[in-house]
Amino acid sequence: MNPGEFRELGHRVVDMLAEYLEHIEEKPVFPNVEPSTLTQFFAEPLPQDSSPPEKVLAELEEKLLPYCTHVGHPGYMGLITPSPNPVGIIADFICSALNQNIGAYTIGPAAVAMERRTVRWLTDLAGYDDKAGGNLTSGGMMANFVGLKLARDAVSGDRIQQDGVQDRWAVYASEERHVSVDKAVDAVGLGRTALRALPTDAEFRVRLDALEVAISEDHKRGIRPLCIVGISGTTNTGAVDPIRALRKIADREGMWLHADAAYGGGMLLSHAWPMRDQGLELADSITIDPHKWFYAPLDAGAILVKDDRRLTASFGMKPSYLTDELDRANERYQYYVHSFEQSRRFRGLKVWMSFKRYGASQIGEWIDNNVRQAKHLYSMVAKHSEFEAASDPPMSAICIRYRGAESDEPRSKELHAEVARRVESSGKFWISTTELKGKAWFRINPVNFRTRTEHMDQLLALLENECHSVLEST
């Protein structure tokens, strides 16, 4: 493809995406198509010959765009995948063209500097000082894994990374944790039985009394406390664990405190509900996902560390084939030395461009609007005779359930699942279901700058109608 062809195709792609974004609210949120049909669309052997670029693009317009989940649609309120901001989309286009591998300084010097500044902005937001550091990851899953590895190495005096796990250790987190914590405990070699899933209070925050009991029981069994994972914004309800109290317990026990703020980190930008007084800066490490509530496109998570030297202690290896002999002044920052990944996509560009284009203030306004939408839904449900809310939402996640008919919990679970399926089929909204304290709930989470208050009114009306319809048909 010569530069002229690239320019022509690129202009067509931009026009196509601009048209897509302009009319996204008119599309069904979720495609009405069977999985077998999609499989058949792409059932072909590996192409051996080239095709004209316009033909390839036409195939995408026919087989991909109509059958996406339109997460930028204002009615998408399901899993925490927000509407990507337009400048972030452009950033990924640029990123792919430059193809900078910032794992090594020599494959992306300006990109390395840009990501380091982006990480500095995030550490500043979290309340860390200039000793802090971190790096961008594929998401919260990888960030929580790194956080648990840092905890394992630091608390063991860096012995485990050399000798493997010799003793029995325990990690403590609430029952409302993200599944990435379970996977991380497994991946760092502790085993999933090392995780203590602790009950929560009425607001879905970890119970400190349960934590104290679990630690005491582990001491009796010769199991050493390793790490507490405090959650700043649970996936289901946006609950925030008492980080200050967890810090005191961690200090007393010689534990690492990791804060999972993958979702709730966005509240650091809030004007109306600032999170600066929650003690997040007291954690030894923090997970934040700019691709969640900072409205950056996937993928862009982040692991932040209070003491940047811990990253080097856990990952600092320099194989001869990667040694930079020209770095005599030790000024060329090597991400592969200070992180888990070696080949690394230039994730910082879309986050940097998002902050530069919109500013923290505008992004904070979008976040506040999403919180207001959740609180508006809560206020309507509080007055509704047939619905109840799990809690007053501190963020934009809210769980509500239908209680208008007497039924046992298995039947209630079936009803909620069927209604969610019908909502999906309507094309107007996409929500998920979940379970809290043994009960089924609709989980609704606007993280979208296109969502408006009127959408919450429409959603509740649809849920009410569909709940009635399901009951009438049984």
138-169 pLDDT, tens digit each: 999 999 999 999 999 999 999 999 999 999 99
Rounded CA-CA distance 22/89 in Å is: 14
User: Scanning the structure block, which residue is given the tokens 């109306």?
Assistant: 272
Cβ burial, residue 32 (10 Å; 0-12/13-18/19+):
exposed
CA distance 84 to 61: 20
Residue type, 377: L
First-to-last alpha carbon distance for the chain, in angstroms, is 60
pLDDT confidence bin for 342, thresholds 50/70/90: confident
Preceding peptide of 299 cis, ω within 30°: yes
Look-up of token digits 């033909």: 55
- Each residue of 460-469: pLDDT tens digit? 999 999 999 9
Contacts 24+ apart (CB under 8 A), 420-424: 422/466, 422/469, 422/470, 423/462, 423/463, 423/466, 424/29, 424/30
The CATH architecture one would assign to domain 363-472 is: Alpha-Beta Complex (3.90)
The yes or no reply on domain 3-68 and CATH 1.20.1340.10 is yes
Q: How high is the pLDDT of residue 452?
A: 97
Instruction: Give the pLDDT score at 276.
Output: 77
Per DSSP, 76 falls in state B
For 170-193, the pLDDT digits (tens) are 999 999 999 999 999 999 999 999
What is the distance of C-alpha 24 from the center of its chain?
23
CATH of region 94-356: 3.40.640.10
Strand partners, 440: 435
Is residue 466 within 8 Å of 423, Cβ to Cβ?
A: yes
- Using DSSP's 3-state secondary structure scheme, residue 231 falls into strand
Strand 301-305 with 133-137, pairing: antiparallel
Nearest Cα to Cα of residue 231 among 206, 198, 194, 267? 206
Amino acid at 175: E
| Residue 331 clears pLDDT 90, i.e. is over it | no
Upper half-sphere CA count for residue 472 (Cβ side, 13 Å): 6
- Report which DSSP code applies to 167: S
Burial of 116 (0-12, 13-18, 19+ CB in 10 A): middle
| Start and end residues for every CATH 3.40.640.10 domain found in the chain | 94-356
- Quick one: CA dihedral 103, 104, 107, 110, positive or negative? positive
CA neighbor of 200 nearest in space, from 176, 180, 172: 176
DSSP classification of residue 171:
E
The amino acid present at 79, given as its one-letter code, is L
- Cα distances from 443 to residues 57, 151, 233, 361, 363, in angstroms, run 36, 32, 14, 28, 24
How far CA 104 is from CA of 89, 100, 298, in Å, comes to 25, 9, 22
Rounded to the nearest integer, the mean pLDDT of the chain is: 94
What pLDDT sits at residue 320? Answer: 66
Tell me, what's the pLDDT at 244?
A: 97
Cα–Cα distance list, 51 to 54, 55, 57, 60, 283 (Å) = 8, 7, 10, 13, 53
Tell me where in the chain the CATH 3.90.1150.170 domain(s) lie. 363-472
pLDDT band, residue 273 (cuts 50/70/90): very high
For residue 1, name the pLDDT band (cuts at 50, 70, 90).
confident
At 327 the pLDDT is 60
Of 377, 407, 426, 383, whose CA–CA distance to 471 is shortest?
407
Cis before 260? omega within 30: no
d(CA 405, CA 415) in angstroms, rounded, equals 10
Phi, psi of 229 (to 5 degrees): -105, 105
Listed in order, the ranges of the chain carrying CATH 1.20.1340.10 are 3-68
Are 385 and 426 in contact by the 8 Å Cβ rule? The answer is: no
